[in-house]
Amino acid sequence: MRVATALVAGACATPDLVETAVRTALSRAGLYRAEQLLLFLTRDFARNASAAVVAAARAGGCLQVSGMTTSGLLTEEGWQLDRPAVAVMAIGESENSANSAWLSFTGQSRLPFDWVSNTGGGRPRFGLLDQGASCWQNARLCAQGRAEWQLAGLRQGAPLISHGLRALGEWHTIGESRGYDVLQLDHQPASDCLRRALPADERQRLPVHQVVALLDVLRPGIPVLSANADGSLTLAEPLLPGQRIRWVMRQSLAAEREMQQLMQSAVNLENAPIFGLMFSCIGRGPLFYGGDDLDLLAFRQAFPKTPLLGAYGTGQIVPGTECNQLFTNAAVTLLFEETHV
């Protein structure tokens, strides 16, 4: 199998920019034409996404073109957030396999209802949600703003999920709640409980936008929406008395260390991945780390010769034990090997 990526930026979002990116990826892979193209475009292409996808299919010589517009792009070369850009992966000389991996992209505001189940008639899904995005598969725009794509001839290792969260103290029991408001935790006002758990320099300003509540370490956290005058906290989901939660806080240093550990744990000197995919939150990357994407840097250090394609969105789709889940503020990395290896 031959795989390569390209990241091309320009002054205008034009089909010519897409053609340049596809031809660059083909050249790097040593391919005359691609069997599959995974194409991500910045939102600058929203008005002429159809023409851009047709240009990719023409330049790549294939109709297996899937992807979406996103808030930002990345490859092993670098990242782009603030100008028209194209990120593409060209795949050739692959083999068909019944056990191939599936990717899912959507521009809807939440995970589509029929994508939630990953058992029975459903399937485990990995991918990206970016609200308002355009999606395409088979070189055609999808009317419902959702696309599915099977990566033929490839198998996927365990997902590497960086939550980027620092634990704040121990678990607490909800003593009283009302709808989305948690009134008491461990017999004290909920906001006082949170304040005591925070680092000393954060207690006065109570940074609720950085704090989430965990019910389970394997499930997405529940954002804290506001701290109220009566000492209660409003969460994004209703909780019941008796449930236990743990406060965690988004922190760049914790995220950086977690990502480095995840990447290093996945290194296998005897069987390097063919390529990787990274689905990151727009709240991470350069905006989170102060000007550079340290998640991307961790991948480069662990896999310096591995092609990588990725994008920034508002939600990351990952299978759970019972259903597919939508994470936020996470970075999900998938590593792929050929099925016959």
* Tokens 């950085």 sit on residue: 210
DSSP one-letter string for 84-105: -EEEEEEEES----TT-EEEEE
Average predicted confidence (pLDDT) for the chain: 92
Ranges of residues in the chain whose predicted pLDDT is under 70: 94-101, 120, 152-154, 339-341
Confidence (pLDDT) at 340: 58
Which two structure tokens, joined as six digits, stand for 125? 């899904």
Q: How far apart are CA 298 and CA 187, in angstroms?
A: 43
Q: What is the pLDDT of residues 122-177, one digit of tens each?
A: 888 999 999 999 999 999 999 889 999 887 666 777 889 999 999 998 999 999 99
Write the DSSP symbol of residue 249.
E
Confidence (pLDDT) at 222: 94
Helix, coil or strand: residue 112: coil
Helix, coil or strand: residue 146: strand
Of 169, 230, 166, residue with least CA distance to 194: 169
Q: How far apart are CA 266 and CA 339, in angstroms?
A: 18
Q: Residue ranges per domain, the chain?
A: 2-161+255-338, 166-249
Q: What is the pLDDT of residues 237-257, one digit of tens each?
A: 999 999 999 999 999 999 999
* pTM given for the model: 0.92
